[in-house]
Structure 1
Amino acid sequence: MTEEEPRMSARETIEGLESALSKGRRMRAVTALLAGSVGTAFVGALWLGEPGPLPGRTRLAFAVFTVCCVAWAGYGGWLVTRRVPLFAVDRVIAAWIGLAAAVATTAVLVVAAVQRGGGAGAALAVGGVFVAVALALAVRAHARRAALLRRVRELTGEGGG
């Protein structure tokens, strides 16, 4: 008698394309959750601990940094609770959070540089690098997700080829 190799169903193959959360991905999710939570607490404590009224750009900077930290904490918490294959949607969300944070931080830096009377060129250059890297990561995340979804359609026979 010969033993036949066990065959995987299309669903098992699809679920094997990307696990719900590998150990490495789970560690990154926990890191995002902790870093976002600690960052929120730290920036919030600094903001609330400032004596007297703060200038508008300082309040804006604290608000932007707090929102960025809350977004990362929310992302990490959401990701840790996922038990199903995400097909790289987590990467897309992280890329958009990173891009939004880069754009917002660049805007705050430029506003601060202009209000101080300094040139906005250096702030735009540094911010531009961060925005460009975040944009490249967003494009890559979208491409990875599209490839995974295309493979799912191929395996399930949806989408007509």
Structure 2
Amino acid sequence: MTDEPRVSADEMIGRLSPSMSPWRRLRGAVPLVAGLAGAVFVGSLWATEPGPLPGRTQLAFALFTVFCLAWAGYGGWVVTRRAPLYALEQVIAAWLAVTASVVTTAVVATIAVQRGSGLPGVVAGGAAFVVVSVVLAVRAHARRAVLLRRKRELTRQEEA
């Protein structure tokens, strides 16, 4: 029997990867920068539009600004994490994509119905984005479940 202290799985992982890899930093920096740029761009367009805008146009600008800020917040969160996320960032990104694609499809479809044209194309395009984002969400949840299951296995082995 040795007098060496036991190290938990979380501590061992923390020692192995104290900082994020350049690839993970890039994966967080891209949505951070793109989200901020998008929010500035949409906000600038919204602020400089002449005259009073219709309510649905105001709503569209507001939604796009919120989506951009959500992506920027997500990117900032990923970049500031030093500990392993066990694919949580993929789950969050996938649900952001699902939400954005569903809401955007609904808004554009509503506008198409009000104008009386283009609804089939809007529904087809929107459905494609929704399906892809849902598939990515399911894959992200499955990947996270595998990683968490492996973490539990390692923790049980260390306790034995």
Shorter-chain-normalised TM-score: which range? 0.7 to 0.9
Structure 1 CA distance for aligned equivalents of residues 65 and 9 of structure 2: 44
Distance 1:62 1:152, change over 3 A: same
> Could you report, residue by residue, the CA deviation over 1:5-49 in whole angstroms, capped at 9, with x for unpaired residues?
xxx974466558988632112112111110000100000000010
> Could you report, residue by residue, the CA deviation over 1:67-114 in whole angstroms, capped at 9, with x for unpaired residues?
110000000111111011100000000001111110111011101101
Structure 2 CA distance for aligned equivalents of residues 124 and 16 of structure 1: 49
Within a 5 Å distance, the mapping from 1:80-99 to structure 2 comes to 80-99=79-98
Structure 2 CA distance for aligned equivalents of residues 128 and 17 of structure 1: 42
Report whether the alignment pairs 1:59 with 2:58.
yes
Does the 8 Å contact 1:33/1:75 carry over to 2?
Answer: yes
- Which AA in structure 2 matches 1:142? H
Structure 2 CA distance for aligned equivalents of residues 41 and 113 of structure 1: 27
Structure 2 CA distance for aligned equivalents of residues 19 and 92 of structure 1: 22
Report whether the alignment pairs 1:73 with 2:78.
no
Structure 2 CA distance for aligned equivalents of residues 68 and 105 of structure 1: 10
- Which AA in structure 2 matches 1:98? A
- Partner of 1:4 in structure 2? none
- Which AA in structure 2 matches 1:143? A
Distance 1:86 1:19, change over 3 A: farther
Once the two structures are TM-superposed, the CA of residue 64 in structure 1 deviates from its matched residue by: 1.2
Structure 2: runs of 5 or more not aligned: 1-6
Does the 8 Å contact 1:113/1:119 carry over to 2?
Answer: yes
- Partner of 1:141 in structure 2? 140
- Partner of 2:34 in structure 1? 35
- Partner of 2:4 in structure 1? none
Q: Which moved more, 1:58-67 or 1:41-50?
A: 58-67
Structure 1: runs of 5 or more not aligned: 1-7
- Which AA in structure 2 matches 1:89? L
Distance 1:151 1:20, change over 3 A: farther
> Could you report, residue by residue, the CA deviation over 1:108-143 in whole angstroms, capped at 9, with x for unpaired residues?
110110111114221111000000000000000000
The Cα RMSD (Å) is: 2.2
- Which AA in structure 1 matches 2:77? W
Does the 8 Å contact 1:20/1:85 carry over to 2?
Answer: no
